[in-house]
Amino acid sequence: MSGAYRNLSRKDRTVSNLDAFLDKLQEEIFDEAKQALGERGFDRWRNPKHNGRMENPDGWGRVIGECGDTMEIYLKFKDNQVADASYFTDGCASSMVSGSFAAELTLGKTPEELTDITADQILALIGRLPDDDIHCTTLAARTIQAAVDNYMGTIVKKV
């Protein structure tokens, strides 16, 4: 036992042990997540982009996946191209990462180009996901399609 540790009160030693345990546990969780999601996916999970519900989107979609996760994609258009996009999900880390990369993939695209976005394209951007979570990219792609359908429906109503 080090001198500094020995001089701590029992309560302080308990807190110190708990802090060390929690730090180690957090490190193990992050290591597992990094292995499962890859570097790009892990970084996006820790630092999500395009996350949150958008106020007054031009088009949006909500889809519930086979796993029960719900995803929403919001699109804002300018000059017939996506100028801003965001996502929201109540799902797992793989759903979060898929939604984030899906929203990013929509930027600068026309409605017609959006209809060509696939789960494989989203997965290629991420790099990898656990096999059991590949369906999250399908959920994200389907949600983009729902948002495009919603946008196209609002355009038809305006005409």
Q: State how many domains the chain has.
A: 2
Question: Which residues are 62's β-sheet partners?
Answer: 72
Selection from 40, 29, 31, 59 nearest residue 128 by Cα = 40
Selection from 83, 85, 92, 70 nearest residue 140 by Cα = 70
Contact 37, 128 (CB under 8 A): yes
Predicted confidence at residue 101, as pLDDT, reads 98
Predicted confidence at residue 29, as pLDDT, reads 86
* CATH number for position 154: 3.90.1010.10
Predicted confidence at residue 32, as pLDDT, reads 86
Q: Is 128 left (phi over 0), alpha (psi -120 to 50) or beta?
A: beta
Local confidence pLDDT in tens for the 159 residues of the chain: 445 545 556 666 566 777 787 788 888 888 887 888 889 999 999 999 999 999 999 999 999 999 999 999 999 999 999 999 999 999 999 999 999 999 999 999 999 999 999 999 999 999 999 999 999 999 999 999 999 999 999 876 665
Domain shared by 114 and 65, yes or no: yes
Domain shared by 71 and 40, yes or no: no
Q: 52 in a domain, yes or no? A: no
Question: Which residues are 101's β-sheet partners?
Answer: none
Domain shared by 32 and 105, yes or no: no
Predicted confidence at residue 5, as pLDDT, reads 47
Residues 6+ apart with CB under 8 A from 14: none
Contact 39, 127 (CB under 8 A): yes
Domain shared by 9 and 67, yes or no: no
DSSP designation for 67: T
Tell me which H or E stretch contains 153. helix 135-158
